[in-house]
Chain A
Amino acid sequence: DGGITQSPKYLFRKEGQNVTLSCEQNLNHDAMYWYRQDPGQGLRLIYYSQIVNDFQKGDIAEGYSVSREKKESFPLTVTSAQKNPTAFYLCATSVGPNTEAFFGQGTRLTVV
């Protein structure tokens, strides 16, 4: 089954703990993205990667980290430095310039 897999769908963590969100794709797309969505708002770009071993900060990268060691995988770590980590996190991929992006089904992170 092709596509983008985000796991888990729901995630709970205690305040002060780091947590890693998984994003895997078998579409052979070069570009991958992480977005954050808060209730009633649009998506905001956290990090993006054009190619393996390269990634760039988006608009709200503080308190987050990523890696891109494999083309298929782009995990996002929410660190304890992120002041308000509770949100809906979305991963996306695209083939290249001027092509559409495809989104996973998201991970809802709740920090208590």
Chain B
Amino acid sequence: DAKTTQPTSMDCAEGRAANLPCNHSTISGNEYVYWYRQIHSQGPQYIIHGLKNNETNEMASLIITEDRKSSTLILPHATLRDTAVYYCIVRGNFNKFYFGSGTKLNVKP
């Protein structure tokens, strides 16, 4: 499975869009990009996933570059409750989600 690189931490003002980048330069053709977030001492929460096309749901948007080597998770209007660690995961094999260290997003009033 491809590995991912994310910034260690990011700040965002409340009400503004949060754009979280992820590099996955070794991704292969059948590997999906997943995003999860984890609030302290809880289980990770699924946000969104995609293969090639951009995706949007009620929580966020996922923008994947044409060469699929990077992606961006967009939280359109960040709130204080969005403060969490965000994990970008590339998953190919059926069974394995590999979690890196993630990005700590701090949403500030």
Contact = CB atoms under 8 A, between A and B. Distances in A.
Interface of A: 4, 31, 33, 35, 40-45, 48, 50, 56, 58, 88, 90, 92, 96-98, 100-106, 108
Question: Top 6 closest A-B pairs, CB basis?
Answer: A103-B43, A42-B99, A43-B99, A100-B46, A97-B94, A48-B95
Q: How large is the interface on B (under 10, 10 to 19, 20 to 34, 35 or more residues)?
A: 20 to 34
Nearest to B85: A42
B31 to A, nearest CB: 9
Interface of B is mostly: loop
Contacts of B42: 105-106
A70 B55 CA distance: 35
Contacts, number: 52
Contacts of A4: 43
A98 B52 CA distance: 13
A105 B43 contact: yes
Contacts of B87: 42
A58 B95 CA distance: 10
